[in-house]
Amino acid sequence: MCSRPRSLGVPRAIGARGYSGANSGPPSQAWFATAAPGGRRFQQNRYWAPVTCCAALLLLLPSCHTARRAPGQPPVPAQSGAELVQYIADQPYLTAEPACRAIHILAKGEPFVGEFDTLREKLRAEGLIGRHWQLQPDQLVTRGQAGFMICRACDIRGGLNWSLTGLERYAWRELQHRRIAGEGSESGFVSGGEFVGLLARVEEHLRKQSLHTSPPVEIGDRP
């Protein structure tokens, strides 16, 4: 797909600023063991056990793939790669629409100006997103999903597990192996800055592999 480096106009400052960023996990087991009303331990009251389990499940619910961003966000830029990158960098977490629009530029070298549903089905038909992904525009994206899309858009292969299975977690680990991705679980959500860092590093990775070919495509002015 990505026969030559595609540039989304990622400023180096944004890429460096937003590369890391792991999500904090749920409260530890020690917290559940001691934090009961009145200072008493949960184990001292048999009725607290089911309450604790329900609380733990509620805390873990936001980690599912159907989590949504907060309402009232500005519209996603569709005309300019540079504006899109700036938009992503300003978001606390990456959502499906800006992710898919960035992946389209990475793979095709040009923005997609149509509706999100049309873009999603186009990416699905070309194998750039999972066949069974039911993405919605404001759905949060995991690191595994981001890794899958980047590897498919740029035809990154190499790892046996990724090549044979095409699973999200192996795509993310392949990017980690190539030092494109940083630390963090593939099941965690991607921050906007972290995704911009991924784009900057994958562009640099492709540029190093294509020094003897055509120059990178610039999409719009850098913000």
Inform me whether the pLDDT recorded for 135 exceeds 80: yes
Instruction: Tell whether 101 and 80 lie within a shared domain.
Output: yes
With residue 94 as reference, give the H or E element that holds it: none
Per-residue model confidence (pLDDT) at position 212: 45
CB 52 within 8 A of CB 31: no
| 128 and 19 belong to one structural domain | yes
Q: Is 179 left (phi over 0), alpha (psi -120 to 50) or beta?
A: left
Tell whether 223 is covered by a domain. no
Residue 112 lies in a domain: yes
Tell me the whole-structure pTM to 2 decimals. 0.67
Same domain, 37 and 93: no
138 and 179 together in one domain: yes
Q: Is 217 helix (H, G, I), strand (E, B) or coil?
A: strand
pLDDT at residue 74, as a whole number: 83
Strand partners, 218: 7
Greater confidence, 2 or 142? 142
Residue 7 is inside which H or E element, if any?
strand 6-7
Q: Which amino acid is at 148?
A: F
Range of the domain at 49: 29-63
Helices (H), the chain: 12-17, 29-34, 48-60, 81-89, 96-108, 116-125, 143-153, 160-165, 168-177, 192-209
Q: How many CB atoms lie within 10 A of CB 164?
A: 9
Q: Summarize pLDDT for 34-60 with one digit per residue, the tens.
A: 333 444 443 444 444 444 444 444 444
pLDDT category, 70, cuts 50, 70, 90? Answer: low
Kindly state whether residues 138 and 53 are assigned to the same domain. Answer: no
Amino acid letter at 190?
V
pLDDT average, residue stretch 121-149: 94
**Does residue 223 carry a pLDDT above 90?**
no
Rounded to the nearest 10 degrees, the angle between the axes of helix 168-177 and helix 143-153 is 70
* Same-domain pairing of 57 and 163: no
Domain count for the chain, please give it.
2
Residue-wise pLDDT for 178-221, tens only, equals: 999 998 999 999 999 999 999 999 999 888 887 645 555 554 55
> What pLDDT is attached to residue 6?
57
Residues 44 and 128 in one domain: no
Q: 132 and 50 in one domain?
A: no
Lowest mean pLDDT among 19-23, 88-92, 145-149: 19-23
Q: Which amino acid is at 26?
A: P
Identify whether 1 is part of a domain: no
119 and 169 housed in the same domain: yes
207 in a structural domain? yes
Query: Residues with Cβ < 8 Å from 37, sequence gap 6 or more?
Result: none
> What pLDDT is attached to residue 98?
97
117 pLDDT higher than 70: yes
- Check whether residue 12 and residue 98 sit in a common domain: yes
Q: Are residues 98 and 39 part of one domain? A: no
For residue 86 the two structure tokens come to 């700036």
Could you tell me the two tokens for 198? 């991924």
Does 116 lie in the same domain as 37?
no
